[in-house]
Homo-oligomer: A and B are copies of this chain.
Amino acid sequence: MIVVKVGGSAGINYDLVCDDIAALVREGNPLILIHGGSHETNVISEKLGKPPRILTSPQGYTSRYTDAETMDIFAMVYAGKMNTRIVERLLKRGINAIGLSGLDGRLLVGPRKTSVRAVENGRQILVRDDYTGKVESVNTALLDLLLGAGYTPVISPPACSTQGEAINVDGDRAAAMIASAIGAKQLIILSNVPGLLRRFPDESTLIPALRYAELEQALDFAEGRMKKKVLGASEAIAGGVEQVIFADARIAQPVRMAAAGKGTVISR
């Protein structure tokens, strides 16, 4: 089983990603795709007059402030536009894709944070109307049911809170939970950079390989969104995944190149 996460940043070529995935599935490799949508959510949020607000935790992790109105936009872009268009790309390539959000069949479940601590203008604030959380369990029976019947699941946030609410969860960490839950050997995380860079954005400082024990140190130099990917990698390996590979979504055959080790290979 291959688990692939493709990010939602600007510059990602979903046609190349879907070309590669379709070929892999046709060759007999069952696959689960998880995708993001952050860039497009920013674009649509601006157009709808609800500009994105990014919260930064005291530890330096960033997340989207997601009140009820933002969740509507988030669901529209992730589960609506992005998911539909990725499923459509795979269908056109002959793959029987099926789109799911984490709410569908309670696929991705976890607690909603009752409050979120953030730093704004140097002061700590507590945000209480935020619909965010963390995936703690995966409905693997649903994935097995669909994979067993020949479907290729295409999964996106939002997830489902333990109370049944739509919650914004980090896609990389959700992918890590999925890969662990189904016992995948490899988790491939594609984005608009070639992997983990020691000095972002200098692509010549790509780190080709890292051990699990070195991940905590990597959090120090990982920039912005890459921090969550490092956290996801750490959680995936702690959950039994053998290799997590950060790789480039902008090139031809991005999944194959990643699986062959092009990017940053993180292993136990």
Residues in chain B near residue A85, CB distance under 8 A = 72, 75, 166
A146: min CB distance to chain B, Å: 8
- In the complex, the answer to whether B103 meets A164 with C-beta atoms within 8 Å is no
CA distance A106 to B151 in the complex (A): 10
CA distance A145 to B145 in the complex (A): 8
CA distance A84 to B168 in the complex (A): 13
Tell me whether A267 is interfacial, beta carbon within 8 Å. no
Chain A interfacial positions (CB closer than 8 Å to B)? 44, 47-49, 72, 75-81, 83-85, 87-88, 91-94, 96-101, 103-106, 141-142, 145-146, 149, 151, 158, 160, 163-166
Known: A75-B81, A100-B104, A142-B151. 16 other contacts (CB 8 A): A44-B48, A44-B76, A47-B49, A72-B85, A76-B76, A80-B80, A80-B81, A88-B160, A88-B166, A91-B164, A92-B163, A92-B165, A97-B105, A98-B142, A99-B101, A105-B151
- In the complex, the answer to whether B84 meets A158 with C-beta atoms within 8 Å is yes
- In the complex, the answer to whether B91 meets A96 with C-beta atoms within 8 Å is no
- In the complex, the answer to whether A104 meets B92 with C-beta atoms within 8 Å is no
Residues in chain B near residue A91, CB distance under 8 A = 103, 106, 160, 164
CA distance A149 to B107 in the complex (A): 14
A261: min CB distance to chain B, Å: 33
A104: min CB distance to chain B, Å: 4
Residues in chain B near residue A104, CB distance under 8 A = 87, 97-100
Top 3 nearest A-B pairs by Cβ distance? A80-B80, A91-B164, A76-B80
A99: min CB distance to chain B, Å: 5
Residues in chain B near residue A80, CB distance under 8 A = 75-81, 83-84
A205: min CB distance to chain B, Å: 37
Residues in chain B near residue A83, CB distance under 8 A = 79-80
A81 partner, pick from B72, B98, B142, B164, beta carbons under 8 A: B72
Minimum CB distance partner of A88 in chain B: B166
Minimum CB distance partner of A141 in chain B: B149
- In the complex, the answer to whether A88 meets B164 with C-beta atoms within 8 Å is yes
